[in-house]
């Protein structure tokens, strides 16, 4: 398959792994890249040393192009992003912040940059300061799609941007890949579908639940991590949705995060307070979500934890290898092309 994205990143298929905390780890990243797609490593829960180690582990597992993400507004996000520059990561994906300085640094060594966006305003800004492509996250996605669905978001961005659009949110099979290309996207990014593969290190209970769930079995709210987020409909998520923000828990969870990221807690706490009430509240939600996400992902505990999934979870029926999944998607997309051609003839 040949699109602007396959040519830009020098990959075989226009299929990307979304950077999911505790899920898009080196083994899965390398598996996607080795199968012809573009794996993206998640750095959200990593400190700079762990980020550097993970990047080097990916390089041991594949000689293919790969990417690494950085959530700039989160604690430690900018520090991790600087590591990506030092390691000269081929493709850098940033979100939740202005990445003009990151674009300049990555282009300095010949790398490429993807911005994750949910609307035309942010997409145009990213294009203006030199971003090479955008990931357009629709409402169907796990995180952090907003009000507009992929069906409308993709063509609306493709109409106003010169850089290529990568579609995210609701894509789990070859029909979705073909549809995204028809809507004007040059590739798709999948998180939920890649989570339930043989190489995925997510807890086995989460994989089993993902196969059992329907397209209706998600909850969508700002009450999980402070941004619009979609998670699996389980008891832990329902409790968090009903309770809302637990400030005492956020304080203690923030201390654990600071320790994990090797950030001085007092400095972190003062910085959060000084950032303004709106941002402080959002980060308090994030502090509670951090623990809940880790518990579900690593322990399979959906009574105390939460697991982000897109509505595409309802299209998951098995646990293939990454290679089998990508070959299946490409084969299905080609079959769809033939069927559509017959109908339009």
Q: What is the pLDDT of residues 250-296, one digit of tens each?
A: 766 666 766 666 666 666 655 666 566 676 776 777 778 888 999 99
Cα–Cα–Cα angle for 255, 238, 43, nearest 5°? 40
pLDDT digits (tens, 9 = 90+) for 293-331: 999 999 999 999 999 999 999 999 999 999 999 999 999
**Mean pLDDT, the chain, whole residue set:** 92
Question: Pick the residue with more confidence: 246 or 341?
Answer: 341
Are the beta carbons of 188 and 14 closer than 8 angstroms? yes
Phi, psi at 115, each rounded to 5°: -105, 135
This prediction has a pTM of 0.92
DSSP-derived secondary structure for 216-283: T-EEEESTTTSS-EEEE-SHHHHHHHHH---HHHHHHHHHHHHHHHT--HHHHHHHHHHT-HHHHHHH
The reply to whether omega before 144 is within 30° of 0 (cis) is yes
The residue-averaged pLDDT of 54-67 equals 98
Q: Do 230 and 309 form a contact (C-beta atoms < 8 A)?
A: yes
pLDDT bucket at 249, cuts 50 / 70 / 90: confident
Mean pLDDT of 132-156: 96
DSSP strand E in 29-110: where? 40-41, 67-71, 91-95
Q: Is 300 left (phi over 0), alpha (psi -120 to 50) or beta?
A: left
Cβ atoms of 69 and 168 within 8 Å: the answer is no
- The per-residue pLDDT for 72 is 86
Question: Which tokens hold the place of 137?
Answer: 């996250």
Q: Is a pLDDT exceeding 90 seen at residue 209?
A: yes
Q: Which helix (H) or strand (E) covers residue 188, if one does?
A: strand 187-190
Give the pLDDT band (50/70/90) at residue 87: very high
Neighbours of 10 (CB within 10 A): 12
Phi, psi of 297 (to 5 degrees): -65, -45
More confident residue, 275 or 184: 184
Which residue would you say has higher pLDDT here, 249 or 72? 72
Asked whether the predicted pLDDT for residue 150 surpasses 90, the reply is: yes
Q: Enumerate domains of the chain plus CATH numbers.
A: 4-202+317-344 (3.20.20.70), 214-299 (no CATH)
Binned at pLDDT 50, 70 and 90, residue 246 comes out as confident
Instruction: Specify the pLDDT at position 160.
Output: 97
One-character DSSP codes across 48-71: HHHHHHHHHHHHHH-SS--EEEEE
pLDDT at 265: 64
Give residue 253's pLDDT: 67
Q: How confident is the model at residue 133 (pLDDT cuts 50, 70, 90)?
A: very high
């Amino acid at each position: 398959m040949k699109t602007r994205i396959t040519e830009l990143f020098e990959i075989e298929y226009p299929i990307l792994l979304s950077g999911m905390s505790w899920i898009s780890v080196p083994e899965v990243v390398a598996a996607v890249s080795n199968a012809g797609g573009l794996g993206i490593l998640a750095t959200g829960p990593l400190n700079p040393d762990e980020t550097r180690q993970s990047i080097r582990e990916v390089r041991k597992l594949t000689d293919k192009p790969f990417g690494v993400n950085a959530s700039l507004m989160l604690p430690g996000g900018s520090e991790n992003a600087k590591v990506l520059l030092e390691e000269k990561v081929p493709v850098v994906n940033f979100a939740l912040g202005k990445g003009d300085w990151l674009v300049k640094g990555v282009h300095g060594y010949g790398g490429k940059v993807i911005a994750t966006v949910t609307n035309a305003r942010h997409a145009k800004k990213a294009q203006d300061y030199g971003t090479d492509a955008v990931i357009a996250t629709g409402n169907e996605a796990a995180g952090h799609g907003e009000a507009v669905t992929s069906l409308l978001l993709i063509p609306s961005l493709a109409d106003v941007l010169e850089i290529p659009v990568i579609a995210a949110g609701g894509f789990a099979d070859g029909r979705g890949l073909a549809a995204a290309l028809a809507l004007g996207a040059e590739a798709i990014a999948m998180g939920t579908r890649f989570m339930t593969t043989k190489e995925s290190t997510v807890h086995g209970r989460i994989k089993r639940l993902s196969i059992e769930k329907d397209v209706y079995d998600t909850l969508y709210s700002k009450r999980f991590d402070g941004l619009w987020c979609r998670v699996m409909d389980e008891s832990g998520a329902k409790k968090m949705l009903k309770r809302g923000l637990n400030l005492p828990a956020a304080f203690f969870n923030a201390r654990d995060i600071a320790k994990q990221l090797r950030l001085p807690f007092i400095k972190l706490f003062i910085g959060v307070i000084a950032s303004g009430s709106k941002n402080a509240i959002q980060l308090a939600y994030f502090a509670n979500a951090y623990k809940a996400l880790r518990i579900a992902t690593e322990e399979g505990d959906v009574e105390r934890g939460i697991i982000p999934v897109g509505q595409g979870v309802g299209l998951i029926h098995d646990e293939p290898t990454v290679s089998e999944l990508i070959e299946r998607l490409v084969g299905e997309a080609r079959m769809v092309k033939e069927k559509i051609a017959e109908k339009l003839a």
